[in-house]
């Protein structure tokens, strides 16, 4: 046994040898199973699949009236200088990647929306038709825009990346706006029928802020008292302290009354 | 076929506490799977005792107790009632994802599609820095710093492994499912239940194969006939037998179970296992390149293998009904003979004379 342990792959040979040498009296039941279904060859390196970025475009070629499908293959990357890299897996790249990066760079808050990542059969894509933005059974999200943009790039003649982005984005904004309006109308209807959604986030925020102001007022009162007493003690006239305290407290009370009004 | 009960080994502490060991019934599943019926208390069992019936209600202290045990009361009962009342109302949820579904109704090997494997996340490998270069032939590419396992390779290897499980089950081999990671318990038990196999979902005790006499020696074994019915007449002949070794081990997490695989190698037991991009594929006879960190992925693979085992067991039993045996049976002489002396019991003295 050297560095690589091939015991597991050679179970059948071992069993046959053990039987031949008399170590085991009976061949195991699985010997002919392993003969019929042999283990795969291990430790053989194949050249990993070399992925290439392929772009499909519709282009009007000068001289012909009909636009044609043109497949653009990304230039072959320069082979790595190191031969040791020959058997290393290659990066997977798709055309959508750039589109996705651009969209989420421009709309970072789209990433904050909840999204369903689970598929039960894996065949959801069969129901999608990206000639329109909305899909049955799929929530509208950034991925919809990316797929729509890709469809436009692949299928509309002489479409540019920015043009497709603008079209897909405009459709997306319209649907988002519509969803907002629908939500607002639904809330209004519900309120009209007696639903109570509780305080809004703004109200809760204001309440918390008011509480902090009240706390500060109490703290400021005691601070004013302490400062006044200290000044009185230094000057040796205690009646001054009581006066200043009174002033401070009345002033604060006045301010309080104003704020309440 | 000799089948060994692994139950008592795992629950030694429970036995020490003189408590009824739940593990003993949980640890082996040599029976052909049957759906467990929910035990509902029958009407007879909750009827008041005949003595209690003769005493007037007011004087009988048992009366209250019996009344309480008759039916669920309080909020729970109300909830049950309203549930049954309104169950038919409302909208229907169709095609919703149910994570238990892959455990309850696992697909058969012929239902394996690349889409299903993709949806189950079997293609996700480990970070590229953690790869084992021996796995390079299973890797499709690199995406976001993670190796992606080729799904066609996964499907091919999974089908091949399923075929092996089916054939071994059809020959009456002992199959052991081992998945010791957290959360794999139910999938492992279900797969073993389907395949009529054994399972381990807690730690593999090192030496269970190489030192089986010490670790599993006190466990129960039984002799079964071609229809898997126990033959109790041979019970006394099974004492002092070496512990039974599996014919096939299926490991859902080979990285943690290196000891198990090593012992299988020493005992010449073929192994099937899920081989992630950081695992060593040479440790397994039949590696299945797939993601071993996702429970959905491991549940799917265990379920597929369980279904394959189920098909094999069904084939074996069908052939047994026709009077054919798919394996070489153990003879009565082999069972009766003393494993240490090699003589039939009672004949040693005569031979010595």
The stretch B330-351 carries a mean pLDDT of 71
- Judging contacts by C-beta atoms under 8 Å, the chain B residues touching residue A46 are 136-137
Rounded to whole angstroms, the Cα distance separating A230 from A234 reads: 6
Distance to chain B for A88, nearest Cα, Å: 7
- Judging contacts by C-beta atoms under 8 Å, the chain B residues touching residue A6 are 282
DSSP-derived 3-state class of residue B223: strand
Asked if the interface predicted TM-score (ipTM) of this complex is over 0.90, the answer is: no
DSSP-derived 3-state class of residue B234: helix
Where does the pLDDT of residue A76 fall: very low under 50, low under 70, confident under 90, or very high at 90 and above?
Answer: low
Residue A71 belongs to what H/E stretch?
Answer: strand A67-73
The answer to whether B230 touches B222, Cβ cutoff 8 Å, is yes
Rounded to whole angstroms, the Cα distance separating B210 from B261 reads: 12
Distance to chain A for B51, nearest Cα, Å: 58
pLDDT of residue B8: 44
Rounded to whole angstroms, the Cα distance separating B251 from B244 reads: 18
pLDDT of residue B29: 45
Flag whether pLDDT at A44 surpasses 80. yes
The stretch A214-238 carries a mean pLDDT of 91
pLDDT of residue A116: 87
Phi-psi region of A158 (alpha: psi -120 to 50; beta: other; left: phi over 0): left
Strands (E), chain B: 2-4, 124-127, 139-143, 146-149, 175-178, 198-200, 221-223, 248-251, 271-275, 286-289
Whether residues B265 and A7 touch (CB distance < 8 A) is answered with yes
pLDDT of residue A5: 86
Rounded to whole angstroms, the Cα distance separating B249 from B254 reads: 11
Is residue B164 less than 8 Å (CB to CB) from chain A? Answer: yes
Flag whether pLDDT at B52 surpasses 50. no
DSSP-derived 3-state class of residue B143: strand
Q: pLDDT by residue (tens digit) across B157-212? A: 999 999 999 999 999 999 999 999 999 999 999 999 999 999 999 999 999 999 98
The answer to whether B163 touches B288, Cβ cutoff 8 Å, is no
DSSP-derived 3-state class of residue A67: strand
Flag whether pLDDT at B229 surpasses 50. yes
| Helix, strand, coil abundance in chain B, percent, nearest 5 | 45, 10, 45
Between B14 and A215, residue with greater pLDDT? A215
Flag whether pLDDT at B288 surpasses 90. yes
The stretch B48-67 carries a mean pLDDT of 50
Name which of B97, B143, B269 is nearest A120 (Cβ-Cβ).
Answer: B97
Q: pLDDT by residue (tens digit) across A129-158? A: 999 999 988 999 999 999 999 999 999 998
DSSP secondary structure letter of residue A89: P
Sign of the Cα torsion B9, B14, B17, B19 reads: negative
Mean pLDDT of chain B: 82
Q: Which of A9-13, A41-45, A70-74, B82-86 has the highest mean pLDDT?
A: A9-13
Q: What angle do CA B215, B220, B224 make, to 5 degrees?
A: 130
Among A194-203, B78-87, B107-116, name the one with the lowest average pLDDT.
Answer: B78-87
Mean pLDDT of chain A: 87
Its pTM stands at 0.75
pLDDT of residue A66: 86
Whether residues A91 and B95 touch (CB distance < 8 A) is answered with no
Where does the pLDDT of residue B6 fall: very low under 50, low under 70, confident under 90, or very high at 90 and above?
Answer: very low
Q: pLDDT by residue (tens digit) across A157-181? A: 989 999 999 999 999 999 999 999 9
Q: How far is CA B224 from CA B165, B235, B265, B339, in A?
A: 21, 11, 28, 19
pLDDT of residue B203: 92
- Residues contacting A37, CB < 8 A, separation 6+: B160, B163, B164, B167
The stretch B120-141 carries a mean pLDDT of 93
Where does the pLDDT of residue B70 fall: very low under 50, low under 70, confident under 90, or very high at 90 and above?
Answer: low
Compare all CA atoms of chain A with the CA of B267 and give the residue at the minimum distance: A11
- HSE of A208, CA atoms in CB hemisphere, 13 A: 7
pLDDT of residue A73: 85
Which among A162, A170, A52 has a CA at the least distance from the CA of A99? A162
Compare all CA atoms of chain B with the CA of A36 and give the residue at the minimum distance: B164
Whether residues B265 and A5 touch (CB distance < 8 A) is answered with yes
Q: How many CB pairs under 8 A join A and B?
A: 123
The stretch B228-238 carries a mean pLDDT of 85
- Residues contacting B213, CB < 8 A, separation 6+: B242, B243
Token digits of residue B183:
């959360």
CATH number corresponding to B107-321: 3.40.50.10490
- Residues contacting B340, CB < 8 A, separation 6+: B240
Sign of the Cα torsion B141, B147, B151, B154 reads: positive
Between positions 271 and 330 of B, the ones with CB within 8 A of A are 271, 281-287, 327-328
Alpha carbon B10 to its chain centroid, in Å, reads 15
Between B336 and B32, residue with greater pLDDT? B336
Is residue B270 less than 8 Å (CB to CB) from chain A? Answer: yes
Compare all CA atoms of chain A with the CA of B269 and give the residue at the minimum distance: A11
Flag whether pLDDT at A261 surpasses 60. no
Token digits of residue B209:
């194969």
Token digits of residue A240:
């001054």
Name which of A4, A30, A43 is nearest B248 (Cβ-Cβ).
Answer: A30
The answer to whether B150 touches B139, Cβ cutoff 8 Å, is yes
Distance to chain B for A225, nearest Cα, Å: 58
Flag whether pLDDT at A4 surpasses 90. no
Whether residues B265 and A48 touch (CB distance < 8 A) is answered with no
Token digits of residue B250:
């299926």
Flag whether pLDDT at A126 surpasses 60. yes
Compare all CA atoms of chain A with the CA of B284 and give the residue at the minimum distance: A8
The stretch A17-33 carries a mean pLDDT of 93
Whether residues B140 and A89 touch (CB distance < 8 A) is answered with yes
Among A74-78, A115-119, B348-352, name the one with the lowest average pLDDT.
Answer: B348-352
Rounded to whole angstroms, the Cα distance separating B275 from B291 reads: 7
The stretch B241-259 carries a mean pLDDT of 92
- HSE of B68, CA atoms in CB hemisphere, 13 A: 5
Sign of the Cα torsion B259, B121, B301, A51 reads: negative
pLDDT of residue B64: 52
| Distance, first Cα to last Cα, chain B | 35
- Judging contacts by C-beta atoms under 8 Å, the chain B residues touching residue A9 are 282, 285
Q: What angle do CA B151, B300, B286 make, to 5 degrees?
A: 65
Q: What angle do CA B306, B312, B315 make, to 5 degrees?
A: 145
The stretch B66-77 carries a mean pLDDT of 68
Rounded to whole angstroms, the Cα distance separating B309 from A182 reads: 54
- Judging contacts by C-beta atoms under 8 Å, the chain B residues touching residue A5 are 265, 282-283
Where does the pLDDT of residue B63 fall: very low under 50, low under 70, confident under 90, or very high at 90 and above?
Answer: low
Residue A9 CB neighbour total at 10 angstroms: 24
Alpha carbon B169 to its chain centroid, in Å, reads 13
Rounded to whole angstroms, the Cα distance separating B349 from A41 reads: 55
Alpha helices in B17-143 (DSSP H): 23-26, 50-54, 62-70, 75-86, 101-104, 114-119
In percent, the amount of chain B with pLDDT more than 70 equals 76
Flag whether pLDDT at B276 surpasses 80. yes
Task: Report the DSSP beta bridge partners of residue A13.
Answer: none
Among A162-166, B129-133, B333-337, name the one with the lowest average pLDDT.
Answer: B333-337
Between B91 and A71, residue with greater pLDDT? A71
Q: pLDDT by residue (tens digit) across A45-64? A: 888 888 888 888 988 888 88
Flag whether pLDDT at A37 surpasses 60. yes
Flag whether pLDDT at B258 surpasses 90. yes
């Amino acid at each position: 046994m050297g560095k690589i342990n091939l015991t597991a792959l050679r179970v059948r040979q071992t069993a046959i040898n053990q039987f031949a040498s008399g170590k085991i009296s009976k061949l195991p039941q699985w010997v002919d199973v392993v003969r019929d279904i042999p283990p795969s060859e291990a430790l053989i390196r194949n050249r990993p699949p070399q992925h290439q970025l392929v772009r499909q475009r519709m282009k009007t070629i000068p001289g012909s009236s009909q636009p044609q499908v043109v497949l653009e293959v990304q230039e072959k990357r320069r082979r790595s200088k190191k031969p040791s890299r020959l058997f290393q897996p290659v990066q997977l790249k798709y055309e959508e990647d750039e589109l996705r990066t651009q969209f989420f760079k421009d709309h970072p808050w789209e990433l904050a929306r909840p999204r369903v990542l689970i598929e039960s059969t894996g065949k959801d894509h069969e129901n999608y038709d990206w000639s329109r933005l909305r899909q049955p059974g799929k929530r509208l999200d950034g991925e919809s825009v990316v797929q729509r943009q890709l469809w436009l790039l692949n299928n509309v003649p002489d479409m540019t990346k920015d043009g497709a982005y603008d079209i897909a984005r405009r459709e997306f904004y319209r649907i988002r706006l519509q969803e907002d309006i629908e939500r607002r109308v639904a809330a209004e209807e519900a309120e009209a029928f007696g639903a109570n959604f509780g305080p809004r986030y703004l109200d809760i925020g204001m309440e918390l802020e008011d509480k902090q102001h009240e706390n500060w007022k109490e703290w400021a009162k005691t601070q004013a008292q302490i400062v006044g007493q200290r000044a009185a003690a230094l000057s040796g006239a205690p009646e001054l302290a009581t006066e200043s305290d009174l002033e401070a407290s009345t002033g604060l009370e006045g301010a309080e009354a104003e704020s309440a009004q | 076929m000799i089948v060994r009960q692994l139950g008592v080994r795992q629950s030694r502490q429970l036995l020490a506490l003189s408590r009824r060991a739940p593990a003993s019934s949980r640890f082996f599943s040599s029976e052909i799977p049957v759906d467990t019926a929910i035990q509902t208390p029958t009407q007879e069992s909750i009827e008041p005792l005949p003595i209690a019936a003769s005493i007037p209600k007011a004087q009988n202290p048992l009366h209250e107790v019996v009344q309480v045990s008759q039916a669920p009361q309080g909020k729970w009962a109300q909830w049950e009632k309203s549930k049954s009342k309104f169950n038919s109302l409302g909208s229907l949820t169709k095609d919703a994802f149910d994570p238990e579904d892959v455990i309850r109704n696992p697909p058969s090997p012929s239902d394996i599609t690349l889409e299903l494997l993709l949806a189950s996340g079997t293609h996700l490998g480990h970070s590229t820095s953690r790869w084992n270069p021996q796995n390079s032939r299973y890797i499709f590419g690199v995406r976001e710093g993670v190796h992606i396992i080729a799904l066609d390779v996964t499907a091919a290897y999974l089908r091949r492994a399923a075929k092996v499980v089916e054939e071994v089950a059809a020959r009456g081999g002992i199959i052991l499912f081992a998945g010791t990671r957290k959360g794999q318990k139910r999938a492992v038990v279900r797969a073993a239940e389907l395949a009529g196999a054994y399972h381990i979902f807690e730690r593999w005790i090192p030496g269970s194969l190489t030192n089986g006499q010490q670790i599993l020696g006190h466990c129960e074994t039984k002799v079964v006939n071609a229809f898997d019915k126990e033959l109790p007449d041979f019970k006394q002949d099974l004492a002092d037998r070496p512990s039974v070794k599996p014919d096939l081990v299926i490991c859902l997490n080979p990285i943690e179970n290196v000891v198990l695989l090593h012992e299988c190698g020493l005992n010449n037991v073929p192994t099937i296992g899920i081989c992630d991009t950081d695992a060593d594929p040479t440790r397994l006879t039949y590696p299945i390149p797939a993601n071993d960190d996702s429970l959905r992925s491991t549940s799917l693979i265990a379920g597929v293998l369980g279904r394959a085992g189920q098909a094999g067991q069904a084939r074996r039993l069908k052939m047994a009904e026709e009077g054919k045996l798919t394996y070489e049976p153990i003879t009565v002489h082999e069972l009766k003979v003393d494993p240490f002396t090699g003589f039939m019991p009672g004949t040693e003295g005569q031979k010595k004379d």
